[in-house]
Amino acid sequence: DGGITQSPKYLFRKEGQNVTLSCEQNLNHDAMYWYRQDPGQGLRLIYYSQIVNDFQKGDIAEGYSVSREKKESFPLTVTSAQKNPTAFYLCASSVAGTYSSYEQYFGPGTRLTVT
């Protein structure tokens, strides 16, 4: 899982509550990413950030929000507007750069269950 930590590993929330998932990296990477994984659907990109204080929506950003105030940290908030929040959430980071082809390094994931 490299130098990326995600906490907590398991998270339980009641419907209607916002919840924030932590992601920290010590790889000195500029780019960070959040994915959602559901069975049979692979990984879907929620948000990504190429640099501090900048982030972009991915394919399924609705109901989620992020911040990137520090290079090392990229927290994800799952809001009450997310209709199906129960999933496995993965954070990743990589070297950034135009026309580059660097692999992403993944954290261990957070399994969120909302009831």
Partner 1 sequence: AQSVAQPEDQVNVAEGNPLTVKCTYSVSGNPYLFWYVQYPNRGLQFLLKYITGDNLVKGSYGFEAEFNKSQTSFHLKKPSALVSDSALYFCAVRDNLVTGANNLFFGTGTRLTVIP
CB of residue 36 vs partner 1: minimum separation in angstroms?
11
Distance of alpha carbon 45 from alpha carbon 61, whole angstroms = 8
Please list, in sequence order, all residues whose beta carbon lies within 8 angstroms of the beta carbon of residue 79, skipping any fewer than 6 positions away: 18, 63, 64, 65
Q: Which is nearer to partner 1, 62 or 97 (CB)?
A: 97
* Residue 76 contacts residue 20 (beta carbons within 8 Å): yes
CB of residue 114 vs partner 1: minimum separation in angstroms?
18
Residues of this chain that bind partner 1 (CB under 8 A) = 1, 4, 6, 31, 33, 35, 40-45, 48-51, 56, 58, 88, 90, 92, 94-109, 111
Distance of alpha carbon 10 from alpha carbon 50, whole angstroms = 27
Q: Which is nearer to partner 1, 71 or 111 (CB)?
A: 111
CB of residue 81 vs partner 1: minimum separation in angstroms?
24
Q: Which is nearer to partner 1, 45 or 80 (CB)?
A: 45
* Residue 68 contacts residue 49 (beta carbons within 8 Å): yes
Task: Find out whether the peptide bond into 8 is cis, omega within 30 degrees of 0.
Answer: yes
CB of residue 69 vs partner 1: minimum separation in angstroms?
18
Q: Which is nearer to partner 1, 84 or 100 (CB)?
A: 100
